[in-house]
Every structure is written in C-alpha cells, then in structure tokens.
Amino acid sequence: MGEIYNTKAILVQPHARQDAEATRLASGLLRDPENWERAFDRFTASVVFSIAYGGHRIDSLDSPVVRQRLKYAHFMASLNVPGAYKAESFPVLKYMPEWLAPWKRSIWEHSEMESAANMALVDGAREDIRAANEKGEEVAPSMTKNMLAVRDEEGIPLSDKDFSYVPASLFGAGSDTTASSMCSAVLALVTHQAALEAAQAELDSVIGGDRMPTFEDEEKLPYIRALVKEVLRWRPVAVLGGTPHASSEDDLYQGWYIPNGATILGNTWAINLNEEYYPNPQLFNPARFLDEKDPRYLSELKGKKTHPAKAGHSSFGWGRRICPGADLAANSLFIALSKLIWAFDILPTRTYDTLDYTDGFNSRPKPFKCLVRIRSGNHKAVLATGSLQAEKEMERFPAYAFDFEMLYVMT
C-alpha cells in the first residue's frame, strides 16, 4: 500500500494543483487578511481532497464534504487521546452491554456514517473515471484512481469498504495537520522577525518582484526549505507521535523491559526539542537546517548528535509506520509558505505566548491576530495576474458538490 501512496503520479504530478491552490490562498489573503487560519484550512483541504479523489476542488470550509470530513477527523482524533476511554485501562469493560457502555453506540454510529461517506466518495471518483473514458478524456491522477487500477490489475482481495478507508485516511491525516503547521509558521514568523527577513531576502534575490515562486525554484531556495523543516521541528502537530505503535519483539531500552506487543507512544515534542540534537531548541531559526557551507549557517546551532532521520526531525514519525504523505505535506508547506512570504509582510500586533497551543491528538496555536500586509503595489499586481492563471488551472477541477446531509438521511 505504501507504493500506492508514494507513486510518482500522486506526489509529483499534483505540483500544478498545489501551486495553483497556493496562489489562490495568497489571493484570498489579499482580500481577507484577518481570516488567514480559515484560509489555511481551505487550502489544505482542497489540495488533499483533490489528490485523494481526483477531479474536484474545495472552495469553502462550509461545503458539506468538508464539514463531514473535519467532523469525523476530530472525532477520530478524540479517540486517539490516551486514556479517553476507560476500556483502554480496564479491558474487561469491553464486555459490558451497550446500554451500560454508551461509548460503544457512539463509535458504531460514527463508523456507519463514515463508511457510507467513504463509499460515496469512491463511487464519485469511479463515476468521474467512467465519464472521462466515455469522452475519450483522462481524469486527473489521484490515489483512488491509482488504487482502483492496482487492485484490478493485481487482484488484491480488498473489500470496497476497506478500500474506501485508504483515500479517506489521506484527508484525515493530511488536511488538519498541514494547516496546523502553517499556523505554527505564522506564529514563528511574528515572534522571530529575523527569520521572516532572511526568507524574504532569499526570495527577493532569487525570484525578484516580477513573478511568484514555483516548485522549479525549490533547489535555489535552501532557506525556505530549511524554514519548512524548522516549522515542523519547532512545533510538531502530533506531539505524541500520532497513532500509537507497538513493539514487534521483546526489547530492553536503558534498563526498561519492553515486551512484544506493548503499546508505544513516541514523544515527538521531547525528540524535536532535545538539546543534544538542537541547541537552544525553543529558538526558531531555519539556519540550523542549512548546509554547513552556506554562509548563513550558524555553527552554534549544530547539535552534539545528528538526528538520524533523513528529514532531520521526527514530526512525520519513524519506522515502517512513518507518515506516507510526508512528501506531499512538505511540498504543500514549501509552495504555500514561499508564496506567502514572497507576497506579504507577516507582522506582530502584540506579544505572543509561543506555547499557547490546543490540547488533543493534534495541536495547533490557539487563535491569535497578526498583521498580514502586501509588500508593495508590484507584488499586488503580480499576485493578481497569478490569481487569474491559477483560477484557469483550477477550472479543470470543479468544486465538489455532493450533499452529505442527504446521504445521512438515507442511511
């Protein structure tokens, strides 16, 4: 299944979609700079949805499909909070009858609604493929399209219900988390203005003011790439490593015996702020991820130990269960932040508590205000032109309009 997640058609071809959506994001902030958090949520929802299911975009957080997806994602996040249910600590409670265990009914009802919604989305993707084939056209690449082809070609014995949960998991895992990281990026920039200035200086030098950055510029923007890594390190979204893992054999770690099958939660927060890896870990400074030959690199930010992960942090997890959408998320962060930092000054309006975050399975900064201001009239004009091009690109992906409320009435 990992091969389906990471296939080149899924992670590379959507660049045009991500680029267009990032331009739409910047254009939206120009019109409504105060509601940047909602704009981030719409951006990530649209990118992930179109890649999961194909030829549709999300224009509003008020659309039924987004409301349903986010409602279920938040419910699932609540289930994953350690200790949320007594049965986790006292397994005998699972034998209690439903009338004495109302949580069983709640979980069953959510499961039934989610299954119906997942199947409707896959059926919609099937219909898009069928309609395109009739017209002699090719539907946009998506996880669902690839999985359908692989299942048919290789005869994978996966039921439609189980199948439908795979693309659904991409939305659940990739939408809120990426938007949360973007919110952390804003908090980092308003509290560390030197990082914003350094990022804008690199963009001005490489890109200039007459065009917007694209994916083709990525290799020439090492500071922006480092900024993305530093955002992910500085404030990981899944502070306890996301979905719990389990040991595959008996182990001994620093004198502690870990039996085979033991549930393990990785403390991503502690790992990402470990001074042995990251000196002065609460300081947000992308320079710690620059190549040592880069003149902006600071040797005092080099740790005594080198983090073993290729990404340089643990925010996407580790081992066989590492986040399969890590590249997709990093790409979205790169293109969105590069365009926003190119176009806008992101300025503080007060002092901020950089530890004032929400609780729960996923974490993001609690709502705060800042000033998002276009950098110049020229930037505004270039953004306007880019917005027209982005809208033309996204015309290929009509807004999703399925009525999920009617689906629930039918079920």
Interval 73-109: pLDDT, tens:
777 777 766 677 777 778 888 888 888 888 888 888 8
Distance CA 229, CA 315 (A): 9
Give the pLDDT of residue 406.
Answer: 54
Mean pLDDT value across residues 368-397 = 94
* Number of other CB atoms surrounding residue 247 within 10 Å: 14
Strand boundaries in 309-353, DSSP class E: 344-347
pLDDT in tens, 281-317: 999 999 999 999 999 999 999 999 999 888 899 999 8
**How far from the centroid of its chain's Cα atoms is residue 42's Cα?**
12
Q: How many residues does the chain have?
A: 411
For 3-35, give the secondary structure using H, E and C: HHHHCHHHHCCCHHHHHHHHHHHHHHHHHCHHH
> How many Cβ atoms from other residues are within 10 Å of residue 253's Cβ?
9
Superfamily of domain 2-410 in CATH is Cytochrome P450 (1.10.630.10)
pLDDT at 93: 83
Tell me the pLDDT of the chain averaged across its residues. Answer: 88
323: annotated binding-site residue? Answer: yes
User: What residues are paired with 26 via a beta bridge?
Assistant: none
Structure letter (DSSP) for residue 357:
B
Give me the percent of the chain exceeding a pLDDT of 90: 50
**Which residues on adjacent β-strands are paired with residue 411?**
none
Nearest-5° angle of CA 242, CA 243, CA 246?
125
In this structure, are residues 212 and 383 in contact, taking their beta carbons and an 8 Å threshold? Answer: yes
Per-residue pLDDT reduced to its tens digit, 358-380:
987 789 999 999 999 999 999 99
**Top mean-pLDDT range of 39-48, 96-105, 157-166, 354-363:** 39-48
Closest CA to 140 of 10, 20, 46: 10
How far is residue 392's CA from residue 374's CA, in Å, rounded to a whole number?
23
**CA–CA dist 258, 276 (Å, integer):** 25
Region 257-280: what's the mean pLDDT?
Answer: 93
Domain boundaries along the sequence of the chain: 2-410
| Separation of alpha carbons 185 and 342, rounded Å | 14
- Distance, CA of 130 to CA of 134 (rounded, Å): 6
Residue range 187-208: mean pLDDT, rounded = 98
